Amino acid sequence: MKRIAILGSTGSIGRSTLSVVESYPDRFQIATLAAGGNVEAAVEQASHWKPRVLSLANEPDADIARTRLRDLGFKEIEVVHGAAGTVQVATHPEVDFVVSAIVGVAGLQATYQAVRAGKTVGLANKECLVVAGELIVAEARKQGKTLLPIDSEHNAVHQCLRGGRMEEVAHIWLTASGGPFLKTPKSEFTSITVEQALNHPTWKMGKRITIDSATLMNKGFEVIEACRLFNVPASQVQVIVHPQSTIHSMVEFVDGSILAQFSVTDMRLPILYALAHPERIPSDMRFPVMDLRHLDFCPPDMSKFPCLRLAYQAAEAGGAMTIALNAADEVAVAAFLEERIGFDEIPQIVEDVMSATPVGSLESINKVLVLDAEARQLANDMVRQRSRSVSPVRAIP
């Protein structure tokens, strides 16, 4: 029986993980849960799954959840809050496997501490690897633990890599759906609305990752993730647009053989793969191979989607630059969702913040958080200069 902690249980990945756990009650069990501000959903999940510990982002929400759970008769569930609460959830002695699915850097401390505590970590949260990949991967190596990617592309690469050794890899090919604006002329990018950008053609996801998919920043983050997870330079990671999202990614070996992974577009499958690793266990998520007719591919247009180019630059520079990339993007995406800046201004703000960021290496998670706060401040200032409103950008709901 694997005892599981979910960081971000109320989100899209968190709920999918609970659905997988529900399907395999004899294999997986929920030990602890961490959510943000959705008290209703957190209380409902806690009363169903009866975790040892439930964490919420803020103290007032934790107080409400504690009272409700007590009223419902669940006095034994410990309710905690904040970054320390999330760390408690991630490092609890009864946890074997941590699903890291908090959006943004809010999940960083807990993910890093889970790795330090010797837990097996399934990583959905890509921002952790983007901003502190060097530190997290080094710690996992020290602990002798594998980081299991849940992000579908890296999960696919992880599966393909079972077909060869790292030194036999020529290229990692990450596929990209191209997002909703693949065929939209660049001249129309200034008038893209929030509603249009949230309409992803193939995946249903949280708001930030959906906008990041529309700008191709999400693919850029995945390039950095791949570099960190598989210890390869950015020049060995290629992006190819594949609108059907049928092939989740590929690995090209030195002899010219290419292995690809394809399956249904359902995040429960990479979650199941990670939870069950190194085993494979039966599921009902069948891909209708007989219905497959054609697969399209084309190179990405870096001039139309500058976020991808910026991410390659950050991947090569490493350290502070990937922090600036992520922080500026998070602030800019939140501002776009609040209709304070236009869609085409997201890469402009990211580029301006990166240009103002000196290259520097990372010694600790605290240093990462300091640099992240500085980059965020800079990005907020830039948003304020561009938008009419004067209030600071809030976190993405």
Ligand X SMILES: NC(=O)c1ccc[n+]([C@@H]2O[C@H](COP(=O)([O-])OP(=O)(O)OC[C@H]3O[C@@H](n4cnc5c(N)ncnc54)[C@H](OP(=O)(O)O)[C@@H]3O)[C@@H](O)[C@H]2O)c1
The pair phi, psi for residue 39, each rounded to 5°, is -65, -40
> How near is the Cβ of 126 to ligand X at its closest, in Å?
5
8 binding ligand X? (CB under 6 A)? yes
86 binding ligand X? (CB under 6 A)? yes
Residue 105 in contact with residue 126, Cβ under 8 Å? no
333 binding ligand X? (CB under 6 A)? no
Cα→Cα distances 106→86, 109, 187, Å: 9, 7, 35
102 binding ligand X? (CB under 6 A)? yes
How far apart CA 331 and CA 354 sit, in angstroms, is 13
267 binding ligand X? (CB under 6 A)? yes
Query: Which residue has the closest beta carbon to ligand X?
Result: 11
* Residues in contact with ligand X, shown as a per-residue x/- string from 302 to 321 under the rule CB under 6 A: --------------------
**Element spanning 43, H or E:** helix 39-49
The pair phi, psi for residue 250, each rounded to 5°, is -140, 160
Choose the stretch contacting ligand X; rule: CB under 6 A; options: 198-206, 231-239, 249-257, 286-294.
198-206
**Member of 206, 220, 306, 319 binding ligand X (CB under 6 A):** 206
> How near is the Cβ of 381 to ligand X at its closest, in Å?
23
Residue 20 in contact with residue 268, Cβ under 8 Å? yes
126 binding ligand X? (CB under 6 A)? yes
Residue 282 in contact with residue 270, Cβ under 8 Å? no
Residue 50 in contact with residue 84, Cβ under 8 Å? no
80 binding ligand X? (CB under 6 A)? no
Nearer to ligand X among residue 82 and residue 342 (C-beta): 82
> How near is the Cβ of 82 to ligand X at its closest, in Å?
8
> How near is the Cβ of 278 to ligand X at its closest, in Å?
21
Nearest by Cα to 207 from 216, 218, 198: 198
User: CA 248: distance to chain centroid?
Assistant: 15
Number of residues that bind ligand X (CB under 6 A): 28
12 binding ligand X? (CB under 6 A)? yes
User: CA 260: distance to chain centroid?
Assistant: 22
Task: Note the residues at the interface with ligand X (CB under 6 A).
Answer: 8-14, 34-38, 57, 86, 101-103, 106, 124-127, 151, 203, 205-206, 209, 267
